[in-house]
Chains A and B, each alone.
Chain A
Amino acid sequence: MIGEYFSMAIRNLLRRRLRSWLTILGILIGITAIVSLISVSQGMKATITKQFEKLGYDKVIIFPGKGMEDMMAGLTSLSEHDLKLVRTVPGVDLATGLIYKIGKVEYNNDMEYTWVVGIDPESGKKIVEDIQAYEIDKGRDLRKGDKYKTILGYYFGTKDIFDRVIKPKDKIKIEGKEFEVIGLLKKIGNREDDSTIYIPFDIAKELFEEGDKLGAIYVKVKNGFETEKVAEKIKETLRRDRKQEIGEEDFSVQTTREILESFSSILAIIQGVIVGIAAISLLVGGIGIMNTMYTSVLERIREIGVMKAIGAKNLDISLMFLIESGLLGLVGGGFGVVTGVALAKIVEQAVAKSGVLGTEMLKAHFSPYLIISVLAFSFFVGMISGLFPAIKAAKQNPVDALRYE
C-alpha cells in the first residue's frame, strides 16, 4: 500500500513540476551548505590529525610570547640561556633552538623576501625534520660544519619564485652574503613552507645579528616520559628562572597534542556556526515545503473528499501527503548531496591552486555516514514540514470536501 502512496506522491509532484522544483530548491540549498561545509571541515580535521600523528605526540614547542602569532611577528623573549635550561629538564631527549627571520634573497639579478630559518644541524635536525616535515629531494642535507650552505624549499626548484630553476651547487645571496645551495626539499604542500630557506644556526645568528635570541625551541621527549608532564616541568623551570607567577609568562609551552586540540576546538566552533547557518536555511526550506503542501491540500480538497468516500481512512490521507512532503525533502537532500560534494570539490581545487593551505591541507572528506544521515534528515525535515498540512487534509469532512468547488 505504501508503495502505491509513493507512486501517487511522485505523480502529484510531477503534476506541479515547477512548484515542486522550486520547493526542492529551498531544501537543496540548505543541504548543499551542510554537505559541503561539513565535508570540507571534516577533511581539514582528518588532514590535520594525520599531520600531527606523523610528527608524533612526543614533541613540545616553546614559543616566545603568547604563541605562534608573536613568533611570526618577530617578537621574541626566548634565548640560548632558555635552551640550555630546557635541556636540563628531566625527560627532555633533544632540544633545539631555531631562528625565524624574513630575509632578502637574491638570485640571477632578481630579488625576493622570504622566510629564512636557522637550524642547528647537530642538535635539531631530527626534531625539525619531524616538525617541519621536510625531506631532501635533490642534493644533501645540512651537516655539522657547514657554513655558507643552504637548503631551499620546493618552489626554488621551480620557476615559481625566480625566473630560473635553482639546482644544487648554484649560488644565491641571502641578506647580501653568498651561499651555496646544497639541497632542495620535496613539496610539503603549503606555500609558506615550500618557499622557506634553511641555513645553519650559527650563520643565521651572525647574519641577522640576533645575539642569543631564539625564534622557538623544539623539544623531543624521551621514550617512557609523559609529554604533558615534561611540558609542565619545562614551563615551571622557565617560569622560576624568570621569576614569573602563573599566568604572567611571556612564553608558551605547547605539546603537539595541545596544538592539535586547539586546532580541533577552533574547527569544532567553525563547524557549529556553519551547521547553525545551514540549519536556518533548512528551516526556510522546510517552511517552503509547508507552504507548498498547504497549497496542495487546498487544491485537492475535492480529491480528498472522493478518497474518503471510497474508503480512505484519515491515516491513509495523511500518509499520502506526508510521503509527498517527505519526498520533496528527500529529493532536495539527494540533489543537495550532489551539489554539496561538487561544491566541496571546487573549494578543494581552488584552495589547492591558490596554494595558501597546501594540497594536503584540504581534502574534502565525504563519509557515507554523513551522506546517509543527511538524506534521512532531509526526508525527515520534509515530513515534519508536511505534518500540519497532512493533518489538515486528513481532518477534512468528506461531505464538505465533496461540495468544495
Chain B
Amino acid sequence: MKKIPIIRLVDVWKVYKMGDVEVEALRGINLEIYPGEFIAIQGTSGAGKSTTMHIIGCLDVPTKGKVYLDGEDISKLNENELAKIRGKKIGFVFQQFNLVPTLTAIENVALPMVFQKVPNDERLERAKILLEKVGLSKRKKHKPSELSGGELQRVAIARALANDPKLILADEPTGNLDSKTGKKILEIFTKLNEEGKTVVIVTHDKNIASYAKKIIHLKDGKIIRR
C-alpha cells in the first residue's frame, strides 16, 4: 500500500517583489513528507529554508506551484481556512521561542486549544500533561521572563503539541541555545518522532541535521541533494 504524503510540494516557487527587484526565494521545490518521517532541511543562510517551512506549515502560499496537505490542494484556501489547518494539523517551534509574554507556561501551552474552542478544564488538564512530558511540571505558573532558554523551548514544544498535530515544524529550534541544551531539545524531537509524530527541523548546522533520518539540502531556493 502506498502511503499518502502529509505534505506534497509540486514545483513550488516563491518570488518576492521589492520595487523593481524580484527575489526568487524558492525556485521549483518538489518535496514529499510522509507520516512518521524525521526530516532536516539544511542549507546556508538565505537558502530559503524558512520560506519552505512556512509553505509546508500553511503559513504562506506559493507564488507558483501546488501544495497538497493530506492530498488536498491548499494553495487556493483563504486565510481562515489556513488558520484552521494550522491550528489542528501543525505545531510550530521557533528559534526565538515566541511565547506570549503575558501568559504563564501552562497558559501558553493551552493557547492553541483556546483557538480550537476546547473547554477550559480540558485545556488546562492537557497542558499540564504536556508540560510533564517535556519535563517542566514544576514551572507551570512561571512567566516566560522567569524561564531559561532551554525551558522556554520546552514550553514551546509542549505548545506545538497542544492540539495533537501530525506534523511538528521547527525552525532553528536550537539556534538560541548552548550545544548541551540544544542536544536535550533535539532528543525531545527524536522521542516525539519515535512516538509517531512527523518532525521537520530547519537548520544550517549539519550536526543538528544528523539527528534526522533524512536530510534535504537547500541552496539558492533549490533542493540540491536528498
A-side residues, CB < 8 A to B, are 1, 3-4, 8, 11-12, 15, 302-303, 305-316, 398-399, 402
- Can you name 18 extra interface pairs (CB under 8 A) apart from A308-B83, A312-B83, A314-B80? A1-B114, A1-B117, A3-B120, A4-B114, A15-B101, A302-B98, A306-B94, A307-B111, A309-B57, A310-B87, A311-B83, A311-B86, A311-B112, A312-B115, A313-B83, A313-B115, A398-B60, A402-B98
Contact A306 B100, CB 8 Å, known A1-B117, A311-B116: yes
Q: Are B102 and A398 in contact (CB under 8 A)?
A: no
Contact A314 B83, CB 8 Å, known A8-B102, A12-B102: yes
Instruction: Give CA–CA (A252, B115) in the complex, Å.
Output: 72
Instruction: Give CA–CA (A306, B98) in the complex, Å.
Output: 7
Which of the residues B54, B84, B120 comes within 8 Å of A311, measured between beta carbons?
B84
A–B complex contacts, Cβ < 8 Å, 11 sampled: A1-B117, A303-B98, A303-B101, A307-B111, A308-B83, A309-B57, A310-B86, A310-B91, A311-B84, A312-B115, A402-B98
Q: Are B102 and A11 in contact (CB under 8 A)?
A: yes
Contact A314 B79, CB 8 Å, known A1-B114, A309-B57, A398-B59: yes
In the bound complex, residues from chain B placing their C-beta under 8 Å from that of A313 are: 79-80, 83-84, 115
Q: Pick from B87, B92, B98, B102 the residue with the most CB of A within 10 Å.
A: B102
Q: Are A311 and B88 in contact (CB under 8 A)?
A: yes
Instruction: Give CA–CA (A375, B79) in the complex, Å.
Output: 35
Indicate if B163 sits at the interface (CB-CB under 8 A): yes
Interface string of B74-115 (1 = CB under 8 A from A): 000001100110111001101000101111000000011011
Q: Are B102 and A309 in contact (CB under 8 A)?
A: no
In the bound complex, residues from chain A placing their C-beta under 8 Å from that of B59 are: 308-309, 398-399, 402
What residue in chain B is nearest A315 (Cβ atoms)? Answer: B80
In the bound complex, residues from chain B placing their C-beta under 8 Å from that of A12 are: 102
In the bound complex, residues from chain A placing their C-beta under 8 Å from that of B60 are: 398-399
Indicate if B49 sits at the interface (CB-CB under 8 A): no
What residue in chain A is nearest B143 (Cβ atoms)? Answer: A11
What residue in chain A is nearest B112 (Cβ atoms)? Answer: A310
How many contacts A-B (CB < 8 Å)? Answer: 73
Instruction: Give CA–CA (A290, B111) in the complex, Å.
Output: 26
Q: Are A309 and B86 in contact (CB under 8 A)?
A: yes
Q: Are B159 and A310 in contact (CB under 8 A)?
A: yes
In the bound complex, residues from chain B placing their C-beta under 8 Å from that of A402 are: 54, 59, 94, 98
Which residues B124-176 have CB closer than 8 A to chain A? 159-160, 162-163
In the bound complex, residues from chain B placing their C-beta under 8 Å from that of A309 are: 57, 59, 86, 92
- Least CB distance from B89 to A in Å reads 10
What residue in chain A is nearest B117 (Cβ atoms)? Answer: A1
Which of the residues A306, A312, A399 comes within 8 Å of B54, measured between beta carbons?
A399
- Least CB distance from A176 to B in Å reads 83
- Least CB distance from A298 to B in Å reads 15
In the bound complex, residues from chain A placing their C-beta under 8 Å from that of B160 are: 310
In the bound complex, residues from chain A placing their C-beta under 8 Å from that of B94 are: 306, 402
In the bound complex, residues from chain A placing their C-beta under 8 Å from that of B120 are: 3-4
Instruction: Give CA–CA (A12, B98) in the complex, Å.
Output: 16
Contact A311 B115, CB 8 Å, known A302-B98, A306-B98: yes
In the bound complex, residues from chain B placing their C-beta under 8 Å from that of A308 are: 59, 83, 86
Sorted from nearest, which 9 A-B pairs have the closest CB atoms?
A311-B87, A11-B102, A311-B115, A310-B112, A306-B98, A313-B83, A399-B60, A309-B92, A398-B59
In the bound complex, residues from chain A placing their C-beta under 8 Å from that of B80 are: 313-315
Instruction: Give CA–CA (A11, B92) in the complex, Å.
Output: 24
Instruction: Give CA–CA (A398, B61) in the complex, Å.
Output: 11
In the bound complex, residues from chain A placing their C-beta under 8 Å from that of B100 are: 8, 303, 306-307
Instruction: Give CA–CA (A305, B100) in the complex, Å.
Output: 11
In the bound complex, residues from chain B placing their C-beta under 8 Å from that of A310 are: 86-87, 91-92, 111-112, 115, 159-160, 162
- Least CB distance from B83 to A in Å reads 5
- Least CB distance from A328 to B in Å reads 16
Instruction: Give CA–CA (A302, B162) in the complex, Å.
Output: 20
Instruction: Give CA–CA (A4, B123) in the complex, Å.
Output: 12
In the bound complex, residues from chain B placing their C-beta under 8 Å from that of A303 are: 98, 100-101
Which residues B16-75 have CB closer than 8 A to chain A? 54, 57, 59-60
- Least CB distance from B49 to A in Å reads 13
In the bound complex, residues from chain A placing their C-beta under 8 Å from that of B116 are: 311
